[in-house]
């Protein structure tokens, strides 16, 4: 049993094997298409932080994103990809655009969570601006699990 956010989930051997297959395929694509290293800049444009927590779980020993050559960076100037989470608020819009402009070409944005695509319950609030950035790939879920994020990264790597 794995204790996870107060709920119990039974991990099966089949799920472990599926994650290992995803990780190996992702590692091979990162090596082939990004020279063995993919740098991600995570940007929160107005989320509840659940997506960030799930991305943070990717760094634990079970998922171990670093062994795949994928790591999070603090500066957009060092990033290959921007992870964008949350609804686009008026207050964060200029910061997100600034971050996007600092990422070297080619620029890719992977949207994490349902809020980026459909705004959810926040659609009609006054503080939401809406997103007009060119999203390369969506990883949907509220929040997406680490396994879903790995699958989404694999789909992104295949697409690029």
Return d(Cα 86, Cα 20) in angstroms, integer. 29
- Residue 155, Cα to own-chain centre: how many angstroms? 12
Inter-CA distances, 125 with 89, 117, 122, 128, 130, Å: 10, 16, 6, 6, 11
**Which of 7-11, 86-90, 99-103, 131-135 has the lowest average pLDDT?**
7-11
What digits encode the pLDDT tens for the residues 17-64? 889 999 999 999 999 999 999 999 999 998 889 999 999 999 898 899
pLDDT value of position 3: 47
Q: Return all residues near 84 (Cβ < 8 A) that are at least 6 apart.
A: 43, 45, 96, 109, 110, 111, 112, 116, 131, 133, 135
Q: How far apart are CA 22 and CA 32, in angstroms?
A: 15
Domain with residues 2-159, CATH architecture = 3-Layer(aba) Sandwich (3.40)
pLDDT score recorded for residue 48: 87
pTM (2 d.p.): 0.87
Measuring CA to CA, which residue among 40, 41, 45 is closest to residue 96? 45
Token pair for 40 = 């991600």
Do residues 141 and 114 lie in contact, with contact meaning Cβ atoms separated by under 8 Å?
Answer: yes
Considering only CA atoms, give the Rg of the chain.
16
What residue spans define the domains of the chain?
Answer: 2-159
pLDDT at 131: 81
């Amino acid at each position: 049993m794995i204790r996870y956010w107060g709920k119990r989930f039974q991990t099966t051997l089949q799920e472990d094997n599926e994650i290992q297959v995803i990780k190996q395929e992702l590692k091979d694509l990162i090596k082939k298409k990004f020279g063995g290293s993919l740098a991600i800049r995570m940007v929160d444009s107005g989320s509840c932080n659940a997506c960030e927590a799930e991305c943070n779980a990717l760094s634990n020993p079970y998922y171990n994103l670093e062994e795949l050559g994928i790591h999070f960076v603090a500066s957009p100037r060092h990033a290959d990809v921007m992870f964008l989470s949350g609804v686009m608020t008026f207050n964060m819009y200029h910061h997100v655009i600034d971050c996007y402009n600092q990422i070297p070409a080619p620029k890719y944005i992977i949207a994490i969570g349902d809020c980026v695509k459909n705004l959810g319950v926040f659609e009609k609030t006054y503080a939401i601006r809406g997103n007009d950035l060119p999203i390369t790939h969506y990883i949907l879920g509220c929040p997406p699990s680490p396994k879903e994020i790995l699958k989404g990264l694999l789909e992104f790597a295949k697409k690029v």
